[in-house]
A = this chain, B = another copy of it.
């Protein structure tokens, strides 16, 4: 196989297997090439991944060594993506009764969801994460997008137990904004004891749901190492029960009477 051909195959393989250690002999056998040629190929891939702003290849030396594709999203790409998102969210036709915002079209676009996943995965790439946890239903696509870049599984907390989940652990919690008592359940066999967890959700008001998830995860002795939310409502800031989190956008001013919304960049930008 020629170098040009090998580069196409290797690029595809690495992009499809982020955060996975791939040994040089694996590539060497798969594409019938000398290890030295494979090394040169990987240097070209690494250079171009950096240049395109999508990450880099980490080299791990030694007998059990190889390369690992670490997905990143350049600051420039992230910022222009978030700016565009803010603009789209400020469209007054998104306003719903009660000051809610229609976002299903944005959350329904797989390429937007994938970019959000890439931004969070890049942000959390230095943090120990065994599993991504979200709560049904709107956070689900975001959680999968993040998990696919981190190469970890997704576990979904539900509002109601379902027979197909087997036995479950449940907690009651008080929603931070509506002050209502709500229930959350998690299948017993879905999460290992002591797992390191990244929580992902679409929206955070006062943070009661995320706090509820934290309490539920404590039942599994899990440790929350990262929290990412797509949007946060800024006016709930004072009562917030969750401190450390990363948000991409802040919805700061929802004015139903004058049909006006203001959306700012979230705290991600300042990190």
Which of A's residues lie within 8 Å of B, judged by CB? 3-5, 7-9, 11-12, 15-17, 44-45, 47-49, 51-52, 54, 96-98, 100-105, 108-111, 113-114, 136-138, 140-141, 144, 147-148, 151, 153-156, 158, 163-166, 187, 189-190, 203
Q: Is the interface of A mostly helix, strand, loop or mixed?
A: helix
Give the number of times this chain occurs in the complex, counting copies: 2
| The residue from B9, B111, B166 contacting A51, defined by CB atoms under 8 A apart | B9
A165 to B101, CA, bound (A): 9
Write out the residue numbers on chain B whose beta carbons fall within 8 Å of the beta carbon of A52. Answer: 9, 12
| The residue from B45, B101, B158, B190 contacting A105, defined by CB atoms under 8 A apart | B190
Tell whether, in the assembled complex, residue B96 and residue A148 are in contact, meaning their CB atoms are under 8 Å apart. no
CB nearest neighbor in B for A144:
B141
Tell whether, in the assembled complex, residue B12 and residue A54 are in contact, meaning their CB atoms are under 8 Å apart. yes
Closest 9 CB pairs of A and B: A110-B148, A8-B48, A11-B11, A108-B153, A136-B137, A140-B140, A108-B154, A7-B7, A110-B147
Given contacts A102-B165, A105-B190, A140-B141, 17 further A-B contacts (CB under 8 A): A8-B45, A9-B51, A9-B52, A11-B12, A96-B166, A98-B163, A100-B164, A104-B187, A104-B190, A105-B189, A108-B156, A110-B147, A110-B153, A114-B148, A136-B137, A138-B164, A140-B140
- Given A4-B7, A144-B113, A156-B108 in contact, is the A100-B163 Cβ separation under 8 Å? yes
A110 to B117, CA, bound (A): 12
Write out the residue numbers on chain B whose beta carbons fall within 8 Å of the beta carbon of A144. Answer: 110, 113, 141, 144
Write out the residue numbers on chain B whose beta carbons fall within 8 Å of the beta carbon of A187. Answer: 102, 104
CB distance from A246 to the nearest CB of B (A): 20
Tell whether, in the assembled complex, residue B190 and residue A49 are in contact, meaning their CB atoms are under 8 Å apart. no
CB distance from A133 to the nearest CB of B (A): 10
Among A4, A49, A140, A189, residue most surrounded by chain B Cβ atoms (within 10 Å) = A4
A16 to B166, CA, bound (A): 37
Write out the residue numbers on chain B whose beta carbons fall within 8 Å of the beta carbon of A7. Answer: 4, 7-8, 11
Tell whether, in the assembled complex, residue B44 and residue A5 are in contact, meaning their CB atoms are under 8 Å apart. yes
A136 to B4, CA, bound (A): 44
